Amino acid sequence: MNPQTPKQCLKVQAIGMDGRKSAVFRMAFKMYSKRQFLLLEAGETEPADLAVADLDSPEAAAQLEDFVREHPGVPVLCTSVDPTTAQPWPVLRKPIRMETLFPALEALLTQTQAPKAPPQTPSAATHEPLVAAPAQPVAPADPAHQRPTPQTVPSPARQDIAANEVPPRPAPPPVVTLLPESVRTFDPEVGLLGLLLRVRRDKIPAAITRGRDDLVFILDPEADRVRTTLGDADIQTLCSEGEALHLRALKTSDGLDPREERELTLQALLWQVAAWSARGRLSQRIPLNGVVQLRQWPNLTRLPVLPESLRLSAFFARSPASPILTVKILQVQPSDLFNFLAAADSLELLRYGKESSASASKKPEDAGASAEESAKATPRRGFLGRILAKIAGL
């Protein structure tokens, strides 16, 4: 959903992370499409643009102290199960999700770039934030001024104690349940999503106008290419079903302002528009009690990030399940699940099964035949399928 323009590669230094945690961050950075992040390997000497520190690691305090001393101007984002572990830097509470990690990194970059605008200030003014940032974790000058007693000053010892302390366990999250009576549905064949789906099926170049004359999209489905002058916020507004949008054949005279034009892929536009059109509602194509499975993994590295998209992709690619069972097993929010299913369905990635309620409405004379069929099919069911069937009956 972003214009295809050159992106600055921001180098990120990992602090207090082992190989497994670094691999998770490296994979998350590859999946993020709005800005390019690169996690530096251990031993690399390239200067980092920002750092991410895992404060729950025993060696994180010492490594963070050394890093701040050597790179006083580099912003730091901390992660911890206890958000009060480090006051001088922003702390992201664990478990870390993509939808919270990248907004925190963007906010950190915005805050650090703002003071760089007026660099012609006196030297004293420029040194003030550098002293204030590492004050508490490195060499606490402020507590010494407030309490002259020497016994209250030793910050390194206090840091060692804090690093070895076991953080308090957070309260368990509430159990997420999906009530059928609370599910709202929407028709994917109406509005902007319906027009885009029609263009994708017809595979004919077309134009979408707002009203009769306001050209907003030029689509080439064969080349998987979309040109538009609208930003993400404007496209999200168009996803409301009441917008007067029209689809017509492409004319040779159709064109957009080259100064405002940007180019997207049709797949990325469909994926995002489907999620915005769903708005936490279930598509009418998808049965609530029916089995759904992914035909293949969505290419998440080239698609806009959706909440829980990585977990849901892994789950549905490996085992078919109904939306109700998925919420029960993964404990994802139903709105995130419905948005993901709508996005995957827009790219024809879903394979549907029959509704489980259909078996309950069979005629009595067919009961014997269905029992024999189920008895024959039972040995063919895999181990994971039997587990899911038992969980569904809880």
| Topology adopted by domain 9-164 | Rossmann fold (3.40.50)
CA distances from 242 to 9, 204, 245 (A): 40, 25, 9
Quote the CA–CA distance of 205 and 217 in Å, as a whole number. 11
Candidates 160, 138, 155, 25; CA nearest to 71 is 138
Distance of alpha carbon 344 from alpha carbon 236, whole angstroms: 18
Lookup: tokens for 17:
């992370």
* Amino acid at site 326: T
* Dist. CA 305–CA 267, nearest whole Å: 13
* pLDDT tens figures, 325-366: 999 888 899 999 999 999 999 999 999 875 443 433 444 444
pLDDT digits (tens, 9 = 90+) for 227-263: 999 999 899 998 876 668 889 888 888 888 888 889 9
Domain boundaries, the chain: 9-164, 185-276, 283-392
Amino acid identity, position 53: A
Per DSSP, which regions of the chain are E strands? 9-15, 36-39, 50-54, 76-80, 91-93, 185-186, 206-210, 214-220, 225-228, 245-249, 262-264, 282-283, 290-294, 350-355
Structure tokens at 376: 């024959």
Nearest to residue 74, comparing CAs of 38, 103, 112, 46? 112
DSSP 76-113: EEEEESSTTS-SSS-EEESSP-HHHHHHHHHHHHHHHH
List, as one string, the DSSP characters of 319-375: S-B-HHHHHHHH---HHHHHHHHHHHHHTT-EEEEEETHHHHT--GGGHHHHHHHHH
Task: Output the tens digit of pLDDT for each of the chain's 394 residues.
Answer: 544 444 578 899 999 888 878 878 887 887 777 788 888 887 777 888 999 988 888 888 888 888 888 888 899 988 888 777 656 788 888 878 877 888 888 888 887 765 444 444 444 433 334 333 444 444 444 544 455 444 444 555 455 545 555 566 666 667 787 888 889 999 999 999 999 999 999 999 999 998 878 889 999 999 999 999 999 989 999 887 666 888 988 888 888 888 888 999 999 999 999 999 999 999 999 988 889 999 998 988 889 989 999 999 989 988 889 999 999 888 899 999 999 999 999 999 999 875 443 433 444 444 444 445 444 444 455 666 666 665 555 5
With H, G, I as helix, E, B as strand and everything else as coil, classify residue 199. helix
DSSP 121: S
The count of other CB atoms within 10 Å of the CB of residue 180 is 9
Question: What is the DSSP code (8-state) at residue 285?
Answer: T
Give the residue from 297, 290, 356, 291 showing the smallest Cα distance to 320. 291
pLDDT digits (tens, 9 = 90+) for 266-297: 999 999 999 999 999 999 999 888 899 999 98
Q: Are 307 and 334 in contact (CB under 8 A)?
A: no
Among 292, 281, 284, CA closest to 354:
292
